[in-house]
Amino acid sequence: FRFKELLIMVDTCQAATLFSQLQSPGVLAIGSSMKGENSYSHHLDSDIGVSVVDRFTFHTLAFFEKLNMYSNASLNSLFNSYDPSMLLSTAYYRMDLYKRALNEVPVTNFFGSVMKTIHTDSAYTGFLAAHDAELPLSVGNNILDHVMLQNEASARRSNIEEMNEAQLMSHGWTEVLLEQLEGKNSDVVVMYGLGTMGILLAISTWLSM
């Protein structure tokens, strides 16, 4: 598979031995233990009688829990947070295939970040109808995303217009039916009633597709 940069994290005994065959540029690897070392669990759940998390994973999670969503903490700060006395093993890093300096790479490059969102109290279709022309380029990552959003909005508007036309047609049949009811022509009433039912059935089938 293709990638620009890849971070590999391994939590197991002698984790460093898994990285010897890496050759692809852009790969950064970190393991919980050196060759000849074990990787230990953190604590035991007495109710079920097994360990629930390993030390390396526990301290990785602890590092991220101290950050807020907008933190610019670097990979270097993550790597430096692994204390051998806490892990009971020595974390191993392979960085020769990775070209950027770790203190310049935010951890959010690999562990996610905050997306720009637009909040609205309007109904979804109403929001599209009122603001399609005002969608900024920042909603998408590039012009292509913006064009795709505009096309989707146009398609939804077309569907809404078709639904409105179908409803108007149905109302027209209803008015004719009411007029015939006033004239008390039973045969015509039955004919228009069946026609109305057929149209409503066709509309409901189309809407469910």
- Label residue 165 by pLDDT band (50, 70, 90): low
CA distance 101 to 76: 8
Range scoring the smallest mean pLDDT among 28-37, 94-103, 144-153: 144-153
Q: Say if residue 85's pLDDT is above 80.
A: yes
Range scoring the smallest mean pLDDT among 54-63, 66-75, 110-119, 199-208: 110-119
Higher pLDDT among residues 121 and 60, named by residue: 60
Positive or negative: CA dihedral 24, 28, 29, 35: positive
Range scoring the smallest mean pLDDT among 48-52, 88-92, 167-171: 167-171
Contact present, 54 and 11 (Cβ < 8 Å): yes
Average pLDDT over residues 154-160: 68
C-alpha distances in Å from residue 131, one per residue of 87, 111, 126, 142, 202: 53, 33, 8, 19, 32
pLDDT of residue 47: 83
**H/E element, 50:** strand 50-54
CA distance 6 to 24: 9
**H/E element, 146:** helix 143-183
Q: Say if residue 131's pLDDT is above 60.
A: no
pLDDT of residue 27: 92
Q: Say if residue 114's pLDDT is above 60.
A: no
Provide, rounded to the nearest whole percent, the portion of the chain with pLDDT above 90.
Answer: 3
- Label residue 143 by pLDDT band (50, 70, 90): low
Q: Say if residue 76's pLDDT is above 80.
A: yes
CA dihedral 45, 46, 47, 51 (to 10 degrees): 30
Q: Say if residue 36's pLDDT is above 70.
A: yes
CA distance 15 to 91: 9
Q: Where are the domains of the chain?
A: 6-111
Average pLDDT over residues 91-107: 89
Q: Which of 39, 23, 29 is nearest to 9 (CA)?
A: 29
Q: Say if residue 101's pLDDT is above 70.
A: yes
- Label residue 44 by pLDDT band (50, 70, 90): confident
What is the CATH class of 6-111?
alpha beta
- Label residue 194 by pLDDT band (50, 70, 90): confident
pLDDT of residue 167: 60
Please write the tens of the pLDDT for every residue from 64-74.
888 876 778 88
